[in-house]
Amino acid sequence: MRFVFAAAFMAATPLSALAADVPATSVVDDVTVYLSGAEVTRIVKVHIDRGEHTIVIGDVPARAVPGSVRVEGKATGKLDIGSVDTARKLLQRAESEAADKQRKILEDSIQALKDQKTTVDAQAQAAKTQKKLIANLAQLPARSSSQPAPAATPLEDWPKVLALIAQATGDASKLALDAEQKIREIDRQISDAEKQLAALAPARTEQTEVRVHVVAQTPLEADLSVRYQVPDAHWAPLYDARLVTGSKTEPPKLSLDRRAAITQSSGENWDNVSLKLSTSRPSDSSSAPYLETQFVDFEQAPKPVAAAAPPPFPEQRLMAKHRNIAAADALGGELAEAAPEAVSVEETVAQLQSAPFEATFEVPGRASVAGTGEAKRVLLASEAIEPALSCRAVPKVDTSAYLYAKLKLAKGTPLLPGTVYLFRDGTFVGTGDLPLLSPGSEHDLGFGIDDQVKIKHAVLEEKRGETGLISTSHIDSRNFRVNVKNMHERAMDVTILDRIPVAQNEEIKVDLTGRVSPTMQNVDDKRGIIAFQAKLEPDEEKILEYGYRVSWPAAKSITYGP
């Protein structure tokens, strides 16, 4: 009968009456790192009884963005999530419970060592006092010989007294030395214990507490996932470009390794997690900027400013006062013209340019990233590319020829801007920068000086003079010669770059001269940059003779820019 009554009472009791807090511990399981920020997923396993409950998760870091917290999951029965609340609190960290016990042991040990040091220090002070007393006793024979007393010690007993004093002095010195050694050892032990104590995490730290209000119809087991954003995380692309130059019979090969450097200071470690890298930028704007209407009109003439009137006489002041009062009554007190509305000063905002794509790299296996900000490097992919080798030189500045490999990106994921580490035939030759490359685009990547291409540069003529009989003009002529020789066992494409002046005035004329004309002008849309391109067979040498002539009116002078 009692069981039936209890069951009936429980059935009549509303679910809210059974509400209780259910503490839960979560672990980081999955992380997606963006170019700026990251999304972290924690998993929670919890047993929930029938009724309303609040699952309390207290190990989410304080730097988690509150509005980004999302909770979802699966359960063995019907489970409804009512609401999710977040708050920053000083909470007990799960990993600090063991640290608390160790901290208590260290604190007790430090206190015991300090008590022991006090005892030994007292012994050292006693030894010093004993030595001082013995030193005073050692002065008695001298005082006895100068001032004999009736009760003085006989002379034949003084050797025994002195021997006793010497022994006592040695014992006191040994006792003081032992005490000092013990004090040094105790100080060392205290210092070591204090270092261990400082290395332990604080017992309480600021965390984000997540409270999930749920209703369970039956007792069940739930597997929940808590997702949130953290701002202090990012990844940057890195590349390894390994070029094998080949030979007369072997074609060149290029291996491009894609890597990523991941850093995070989110306030937690990501241990043994599933790691993904995304090219998405959640922190950027999701829509285009909004433009206001801009008007153009004729400039308005300034309004005339009336000159200041002389001070009125007393009668005029009185009449003006009455007129002002009447005007105030008629106009509602508005006597002065409203000041023009102030225009806010706008700061120029830098615009981020991004290619219209998104990609996600999933790191194989599981990885760990410390929350100290140290970089974690992982390999994303490796691909083989068939490069086209060529040489490029700017003899006016440097007579060295530089080896370039033209790479064409295959279809797939674009290359993000990043640093590339360059290796030529197994030797590290330096670093470079890769721009944003879309699938199908081409890029020339430099691999250092090519000693198998010899270049010489000479100035043949630098002459300035005048021309014309009636209307004279100045002329500035300059001619150059460049010798290029290919010492490779195979043909090489060579590009020689130079520049000619660009006139900034229509009265200044610039003309190309020489036996050879450039194959390209305004290279890379840069005015005045010229290029001579040629394919040299093995041991072939080519001579380029070219120049320019600048003419301008004799009545004027010119200057060359940098």
Residue 421 pLDDT greater than 90, yes or no: yes
Tokens representing 341? 């509305």
Interatomic CA distance for residues 72 and 53, integer angstroms: 16
Residue 469 pLDDT greater than 60, yes or no: no
Residue type, 464: R
Q: Which runs of E-coded beta strand occur in 435-472?
A: 442-449, 453-467
Task: Find where tokens 């699952």 sit.
Answer: 55
What is the pLDDT at residue 428? 95
What is the pLDDT at residue 330? 40
The β-bridge partners of 466 are 474
**Confidence label for 388 from pLDDT (cuts 50, 70 and 90):** very high
Give the dihedral of Cα atoms 159, 160, 166, 167; nearest 10 deg: 160
What is the pLDDT at residue 97? 60
Task: Note the pLDDT tens digit of each residue in 109-122.
Answer: 888 888 888 888 88
Give the dihedral of Cα atoms 12, 14, 18, 24; nearest 10 deg: 140
Task: Note the pLDDT tens digit of each residue in 209-232.
Answer: 999 999 999 999 999 999 999 999
What is the pLDDT at residue 158? 60
Residue 87 pLDDT greater than 50, yes or no: yes
Task: Find where tokens 């994921």 sit.
Answer: 413
What is the pLDDT at residue 249? 86
The β-bridge partners of 393 are 496
Answer yes or no: are the C-beta atoms of 176 and 131 closer than 8 Å. yes
What does the pLDDT average to over 30-50?
Answer: 93
Distance of CA 494 to the CA centre of its chain: 40
What is the pLDDT at residue 280? 83
- Of the chain, the percentage scoring pLDDT greater than 70 comes to 77
**Residue spans per domain, the chain:** 2-26+41-89+213-229, 97-148+160-199, 235-283+358-449, 453-553
Q: Which runs of E-coded beta strand occur in 285-366?
A: 360-362
Answer yes or no: are the C-beta atoms of 47 and 219 closer than 8 Å. yes
What does the pLDDT average to over 430-449?
Answer: 91
**Confidence label for 310 from pLDDT (cuts 50, 70 and 90):** low
What does the pLDDT average to over 296-319?
Answer: 62
What is the pLDDT at residue 350? 22
Can you say whether residue 525 is alpha, beta or left, with left for phi > 0 and alpha for psi between -120 and 50 degrees? Answer: left
Ordered DSSP codes for 280-324: --TTS-SSPPP-------PPPPPPP-PPPPPPPPHHHHHHHHHHH
* DSSP 8-state class, residue 303: P
What is the pLDDT at residue 215? 92
Answer yes or no: are the C-beta atoms of 327 and 335 closer than 8 Å. yes
Task: Note the pLDDT tens digit of each residue in 315-327.
Answer: 455 454 444 444 4
What is the pLDDT at residue 347? 26
What is the pLDDT at residue 562? 75
What is the pLDDT at residue 252? 93
What is the pLDDT at residue 143? 55
Answer yes or no: are the C-beta atoms of 557 and 466 closer than 8 Å. no
